[in-house]
Structure 1
Amino acid sequence: MKPHYPILDGLRGVAAVLVVIFHVLEVHFPNYAQHPIHHGYLAVDFFFLLSGFVVGYAYDDRWGRMTPWEFLKIRVVRLHPLILLSVLLGGLCFWLDPYAPAGAQGISALKLLGVMLITFTLLPAPDVRGWDETHALNGPLWSLLQEYVANILYAVVGRRLPQRGLWLLVVLSGVALAWVAIDQGNIATGWAHKTLWIAPIRMLYPFFAGLLLFRAGRLVRLPYAFPLCSLALAVLFCLPYFPLNGLYEAACIVLAFPLIVAAGAGGQVSGTWARGCKFLGAISYPIYVTHYPFINLYTDWVIQKKPTPGQALPVALGLFGFILLLAYASLKLYDEPVRAWLKRKVLGKAPQPVLSSK
């Protein structure tokens, strides 16, 4: 029987929660050098690395009885139901937003419907908010598009790559990522139409480094691995901007994140810690994929109404709680039932628990 990695579930949840806090605070601290969670966007790169590790764990030994098409169907069943829900939420929030920015005003219902239909496919859609986003109805979907690209590359090429070839890919993509991070000054990019070319560069190194880490089996045995790894993530995200900030962020992705995943995979939890990791892992993907339409509403409210910190704080706390409740409700009332039905109808089998990559 395969080993399970509950700490990786928990770390994915910790990163998702930090992303929500980062996005809630973003409108108050648009300059990342002043943001309390300066490097919170690095959670995306951490997710990619986790995904590569878990995809290797879940599927490397199944290729003798699974075709690439079957693999891709499994991944669509896993990821796409919540993507569809998030686009519906994004369209609804956009249409009902009483504080919409000038760039979002006057959009016809027909154009909004067209953007929603394109976004359902995860392809880049016309910007309707004025921020040049490739997925304006739900910003984080740019990274889910790259997740699909990563899965296609894994099914077509990655599963066949020998260790030496995988090492070469990881080294070259790591150099490319470091170059972009240093050139840009940070890696908070790839989500806009004009920087779409950077999105696969952000994905390639961490995803295939995660796959390489799994295949190498070089795990770190660390006592109290979950709290220590969670603390390490929080510290790395919250350290200030540095004079060579791009180099710092590249080092986080290239060096620190693989060590954290290796320690998480090599650690053990039981009792309350294990239950906490399981819960965090279960709601991590729903949190990540459904929270941003409501961040847009909050952002537009702050920009239009300019509340004082005392006025904004209870709204922000309420929003955070709502996002967590929405994630749990989305999981239990929609995602799990829909995926169970799709597994029976599309995959032709009863659902089986497996460590997810999101």
Structure 2
Amino acid sequence: MKNFTASSAFTDTKPHYELLDGLRGVAALLVVFYHIFEGFSFAGGGTLITTINHGYLAVDFFFILSGFVIGYAYDDRWGKTLTMKDFFKRRLIRLHPMIVMGAVIGVIAFFVQGGVKWDGTHVATSMVMLTLLLSLFFIPAYPGAGYDIRGNGEMFPLNGPSWSLFFEYIGNLLYALFIRRLGNKALTVLVVLLGLGLAGFALFDVVGYGMLGVGWTLDGQNFLGGLLRMLFPFTLGMLISRNFRPFQIRGAFWICAIVLLVLFCVPYIEGKSPVCLNGVFEMICIAVIFPVLVCIGASGKTTDKQSTRICKFLGDISYPLYAVHYPIMYVFYSWLIETRQYTLGETWPVAAAVYFGSILTAWLCLKLYDEPVRKWLNRRFMKKRSL
């Protein structure tokens, strides 16, 4: 059970890249679609994910967007209007409320499933509450620990995709302490070294998945792989933000959205000798195509109020959707296993309800919880309003 990270770090004194907001939302919508098909694979005993085979790469797209946006929003503020304390408060206010909500919904989903591991073993309520407490403080579970309550080794068994937000926190910490201080040449060297490290994981299939779906567990080489998976696109996005020059392009949003859809729907590429061919495709996406898409998206403009509203809605919903949809997926997966249905053709009404129900849940969490809580936290802890 794997896989975002989306991050919105724009400030009031700089213009938004509306199209990047919209593309983040598109990627989040595709992640939910991917996880529906992951459910068919999981319920069917680990068969190959179909239709949107490479949807997990949305996480890597989130990371490069996050690096670009954070570099753009904060690089020129250090020592002027921004202190390290303020930066960490901004990031916590932006990210952590939905992490809390995702864990709470995860507990509800776990009890809806019957409070049992995937193998049917009952889990004590006290252990579920311990898992919730650790999740609220973002302390990951180690495979086999008592608080690995689903029994499949996820870092955050109440809400699996939180693994990428965990690495996002690490990226933000390293940025504030170290990366922001690097000049362009030093940052370029770091990006190249990280890219070589990630390429090694992808091309030589270090963890044996046949795909770069690493980071979701602390088992084996996953932590190192997840760290590289976050740091390479994250720092690459920062490097792009420092050197980016916009250019004129029409239809930027649709070009980028269609390219993302096509890339995510590319079938799994067989072949592991002398290198993993699927890993070659993944690295081309992360190191070449995604940076181009970021540049295109940052260069494009919304042309009317309607397109601006659409991109704003997609950007607003992207993080809540990513943060809360997976507990709903757990219930869906459990239903698939119980009913022994493994295809979209058999389950499309339920799958559609899960998909649009996830979007509705995310929107309600955004409007009734996330925005009010962040507004209160900003008033309480920040001298100036931050997003």
In the superposition, the TM-score normalised over structure 2's length comes to 0.87
Take 2:112 and 2:49, find their aligned partners in 1: how far apart are those partners? 31
Q: CA deviation at 1:191?
A: 0.4
Provide the rounded CA distance (Å) in 2 between the counterparts of 1:304 and 1:196.
32
CA shift, 1:5, in A, is 0.5
Give runs of ≥4 in structure 1 deviating > 2 Å.
1-4, 29-34, 98-105, 218-222, 307-311
Provide the rounded CA distance (Å) in 1 between the counterparts of 2:239 and 2:138. Answer: 27
Matched to 1:269, the amino acid is: T
User: Aligned match of 1:260 in 268, 293, 309?
Assistant: 293
Report the CA distance between 1:121 and its aligned residue.
Answer: 1.7
Partner of 2:52: 37
Q: 1:84 & 1:137 partners in 2: Cα distance?
A: 11
1:122–1:142 contact (8 Å) kept in structure 2: no
Q: Counterparts of 1:337 and 1:209 in 2: how far apart (Å)?
A: 33
Match of 1:19 in 2: 31
Report 1:300-339 matches (<5 A).
300-307=334-341, 309=343, 311-339=346-374
* Residue matched to 2:100: 84
Tell me if the contact between 2:67 and 2:238 (Cα under 8 Å) persists in the aligned partners: yes
- Partner Cα distance (1:76, 1:2) in 2: 21
Taking the aligned partners of 2:118 and 2:342, their CA distance within structure 1 comes to 23
1:180 to 194, 201, 210: 201
Indicate the percent of aligned positions where both proteins have the same amino acid. Answer: 44
Inter-CA distance 308–262: structure 2 relative to 1 (3 Å threshold): closer
Cα offset for 1:69? Answer: 1.7
Q: Partner amino acid for 1:118?
A: L
Take 2:138 and 2:51, find their aligned partners in 1: how far apart are those partners?
31
> Could you say which residue in structure 2 is the equivalent of 1:191?
216
Distance in 2, Cα, partners of 1:58 & 1:227:
25
- What does 1:30-179 correspond to in 2, within 5 Å? 30=42, 33-63=48-78, 64-98=80-114, 100-103=116-119, 105-125=121-141, 126-179=147-200
Structure 1 equivalent of residue 274 of structure 2 = none
Separation in 2 of the partners of 1:10 and 1:222? 16
Structure 1 residue aligned with 2:325, among 269, 283, 291? 291
Q: Which has the higher helix share?
A: 1
Q: What's the TM-score, normalizing by structure 1?
A: 0.94
Any conservation in 1 of the 2:115–2:122 contact (CA below 8 Å)? no
CA distance in 1, matches of 2:178, 2:216: 25
Q: Which one-letter code corresponds to 1:328 in the other structure?
A: W
Change (3 A) 1:7 1:102: closer
Structure 2: give runs of 5+ residues left out of the alignment.
1-12, 142-146, 272-276
Q: Distance in 2 between matches of 1:181 and 1:56?
A: 26
Distance in 1 between residues matched to 2:100 and 2:120, nearest whole Å: 21
Cα deviation per residue 1:294-332 (whole Å; 9 max; x = unaligned)? Answer: 101100110121137555111110111110111110000
1:86-119 superposed Cα distances (whole Å, 9 cap, x missing partner): 1011011112214954446321111111111111
Which amino acid counterpart does residue 153 of structure 2 have in structure 1?
D
Query: Structure 1 residues 147 and 34, CA, compared in 2 at 3 Å: closer, same or farther?
Result: closer
Task: Provide closer, same or farther for how the CA distance between residues 123 and 225 of structure 1 changes in structure 2, counting only shifts above 3 A.
Answer: same
Q: CA deviation at 1:52?
A: 0.3
Aligned residue number for residue 20 of structure 2: 8
Distance 1:174 1:294 in 2: 34
Give the whole-Å Cα distance in 1 for the aligned partners of 2:49 and 2:98. Answer: 33
Query: How many equivalent residue pairs?
Result: 352
Return 5+ residue gaps in structure 1 as ranges.
none
What is the Cα deviation at residue 231 of structure 1? 0.4
| Matching of residue 225 in structure 1 with residue 275 in structure 2 | no
Question: Does the residue aligned with 1:191 lie in a helix, a strand or coil?
Answer: coil
2:310 paired with 1:276:
yes
Matches of 2:342 and 2:228, distance apart in 1: 39
Q: In 1, Cα distance between the equivalents of 2:49 and 2:106?
A: 28
Deviation larger for 134-143 or 269-278: 269-278
Q: Give the 3-state SS of the residue equivalent to 2:107 in structure 1.
A: helix
Structure 2 letter corresponding to 1:140: P
Structure-2 separation of matches of 1:245 and 1:308: 24
